[in-house]
Amino acid sequence: MATRKTASKQSKKVELNLSLDEKTNKKVNKELKRTPFKTLLILFLVVLIGLGIGAVPAYFLTRNDCFELIGTDEITLTLGESYADEGAKVVAFNKNDSKKVKTESNMEIDQNGNYTSNEVGTYYIVYTVDNLKYGSIFKIQKIRLITFVEPSDDDVETTIN
């Protein structure tokens, strides 16, 4: 028959008693006070050098980046006219992402793909893009305002003549 042994767990506290002379104790305390400043200084210099090394490629990688509307930001049309959207130009990290631009508008789109309205007022086209820089990090969007006004009497007279 097997017997079962029980283990007893005892913890022993180890104490370290150093007896240093006064001169050595002062020297140790002096070094301990100087070490954090040196460490912080070295850490600061490493971070500064790292930022400097990283800034150069980041500059060359993003110097031509843009998200801008092609054409004017605000357009005024008379009722019955339509607007052919020119779109937006998007360059992110030296890559042309203009094809990824999505538009949202509160205007009607005719059979030719042009924006039109039968009512006087100001309408918008919102441009957004789904990419890392302008879509995920910064959430940038551009807005074009299109105002439809009633034709003036001068416009009616010139079309009749």
CATH number for position 121: 2.60.40.10
Indicate if 73 and 99 belong to the same structural domain.
yes
Indicate if 94 and 142 belong to the same structural domain.
yes
The mean-pLDDT minimum among 30-34, 35-39, 117-121, 142-146 falls in: 30-34
How many other C-beta atoms can be found within 10 angstroms of the C-beta atom of residue 123? Answer: 20
The rounded distance, in Å, linking the Cα atoms of 27 and 30 is 5
The mean-pLDDT minimum among 2-6, 40-44, 46-50 falls in: 2-6
**pLDDT tens-digit map of 82-111:** 999 999 999 998 899 999 999 999 999 999
Instruction: Tell me whether strands 141-149 and 74-78 are parallel, antiparallel or unpaired.
Output: parallel
- Give the list of residues 6+ apart from residue 155 with CB closer than 8 angstroms, or none: 78
85 lies in a domain?
yes
Indicate if 100 and 152 belong to the same structural domain.
yes
Instruction: Tell me what pLDDT residue 14 has.
Output: 47
3 lies in a domain?
no
Overall domain count for the chain: 2
Indicate if 54 and 71 belong to the same structural domain.
no
Q: What CA–CA distances, in Å, run from 35 to 41, 53, 97? A: 10, 27, 51
pLDDT grade for 161, boundaries at 50, 70 and 90: very low
Indicate if 98 and 149 belong to the same structural domain.
yes
Among 63, 81, 115, the domain boundary falls at: 63
Instruction: Tell me what pLDDT residue 18 has.
Output: 57
Domain assignment of residue 129, given as a range:
66-160
**Strand arrangement, sheet containing 101-105:** 74-78, 141-149, 121-129, 101-105
Mean pLDDT over the full length of the chain: 82
Determine if the pTM surpasses 0.75: no
